[in-house]
Structure 1
Amino acid sequence: MTGALQASLFDVEAEGPSFTDLRTALRRTHLTAGAWIDVASGWISGSDSLFTSLVDAVPWRAERRQMYDRVVDVPRLQSFYSDPTRLPEPFLLQVKSALDEHYRVELGENFTTAGLCYYRDGGDSVAWHADDGGQTGGRSGSQKGRGASEDTMVAIVSLGAARPLLLRPRGGGPSIRHSVGHGDLLVMGGSCQRTWEHCIPKSTRPTGPRISIQFRPRGVR
């Protein structure tokens, strides 16, 4: 059963959702091997109403996936837009435009796709993986994409209840934890998809629903 979203006391909305200037909102952390993350906490104001709009407007799909020798349910709902102009919420085009303007020189191109994940409660999750066209943990039949061989970026906007997003070096090592939700932005860049992995772990605690919107450049998924 999908849990109810508990609104954030800090998510103030005037006339619809809005966001602040990325030049002052972002804080960059350099990791290892040329990887980095940018974080802007509470970047989007009025994000709870945006969350509610997306729950109703997005054509969410429940999917199944080959894992080792069996087919299992993907523990979250998903939707993918190869053309972000077809997103059902026009405000997300403003979000994409702001990301394009800020990162275009460093990235060398625009973000061209939008993937959405709906984590209904603490039982929904995503395993350790990198956005390189494949996923660790037994996923078969994957083809490697640009993230496996090139520096790239993945920009994640989180709406709804905060969930921990963990990052760790490939091959193991201490993990880094960020709690993301209620309009937070986290951007993974540099070699992050080649040299680091990330996940959203399951939680046994009562957890409200969360939606993530992942903006990626061409050939990265």
Structure 2
Amino acid sequence: MATHHLQGSLFDQTDEIRLGPLDGITRTPLASGAWIDVLPGWLSGADALFERLAADVPWRAERRAMYDHVVDVPRLLAFYGTDDPLPHPVLDEARDALSAHYAGELGEPFRTAGLCHYRDGRDSVAWHGDRIGRGARQDTMVAILSVGAARDLLLRPVRGGGATVRRPLGHGDLIVMGGSCQRTWEHCVPKSTRAAGPRISVQFRPYGVR
């Protein structure tokens, strides 16, 4: 598997991997009952965590049918179910902290973790919502912790007519998409023609949401 060099963050020079408090998180209401919470730099030592995950996670490459062709999925993937041990203790801490912080709104804990490894600017994920399972019919939350180089996460209304929201995420940043966001909005990580370093996103979800 090819390796890609990560240029470290100028603002996160520690190798101590630890979470900060969640009390500085900022909410932005979107249309149709959707919202996002963003907390830059929630995780310190994010570049060190990136290196651990890149080396230790059993990444898999997938191929999917598209029209009359079978194509490579432009990113590497891993998934950890409700009973699977996560690949680093700080991810267990993050999942527990998010479950406690959002207990009143979400009403259930975050249970699974999906990981995506974007190796460079050619890797991406197309416009979509997490609507497999309960996310198609119920309000829910998806929390994403990003380590490695920053990449843009874009959000837009499913039915159009609104402005696209752009949030660059990397180096320990957190975003939580809540309310009706998975049903009424969609999100993507577009390809980049600029030099883009590698990034790993960790998506925490409740049980039955994919």
Provide the TM-score with structure 1 as the length reference.
0.91
Q: Which residue of 1 aligns with 2:186?
A: 197
Unaligned runs of 5+ in 2: none
The answer to whether structure 1 residue 70 and structure 2 residue 59 are counterparts is: no
Structure 1 residues 106-115 or 68-77, which shifts more? 68-77
Check whether the contact 1:2–1:209 (CA below 8 A) recurs between aligned residues: no
Q: Which residue of 2 aligns with 1:166?
A: 154
Deviation at 1:69?
Answer: 2.7
Distance 1:79 1:217, change over 3 A: same
The one-character-per-residue Cα deviations of 1:161-188 (angstroms, maximum 9, x if unpaired) are 0000000000223211000000000000
Q: Which residue of 2 aligns with 1:41?
A: 40
Q: Distance in 1 between matches of 2:195 and 2:4?
A: 9
Check whether the contact 1:2–1:121 (CA below 8 A) recurs between aligned residues: no
Q: Which residue of 2 aligns with 1:80?
A: 79
Q: How does 1:45-194 map onto structure 2 within 5 Å?
A: 45-83=44-82, 85-133=84-132, 145-172=133-160, 173-194=162-183
Structure 1 residues 67-76 or 206-215, which shifts more? 67-76
Check whether the contact 1:160–1:208 (CA below 8 A) recurs between aligned residues: yes
Check whether the contact 2:19–2:90 (CA below 8 A) recurs between aligned residues: no
Q: Distance in 1 between matches of 2:70 and 2:137?
A: 29
Deviation at 1:84?
Answer: 6.1
Moved over 6 A (4+): none
Provide the TM-score with structure 2 as the length reference.
0.96
Q: Distance in 1 between matches of 2:84 and 2:60?
A: 20
Deviation at 1:104?
Answer: 1.3
Q: Which residue of 1 aligns with 2:10?
A: 9
Amino acid at match of 2:137: S
Q: Which residue of 1 aligns with 2:197?
A: 208
Identity %: 63
Deviation at 1:3?
Answer: 2.8
Give the secondary-structure state (helix, strand or coil) at the position aligned to 1:71. Answer: strand
Deviation at 1:85?
Answer: 4.8
How many residue pairs align between the two structures?
208
Q: Which residue of 2 aligns with 1:139?
A: none
Give the secondary-structure state (helix, strand or coil) at the position aligned to 1:50. Answer: helix
Give the secondary-structure state (helix, strand or coil) at the position aligned to 2:61. Answer: strand
Deviation at 1:190?
Answer: 0.2
Q: Distance in 2 between matches of 1:46 and 1:100?
A: 22
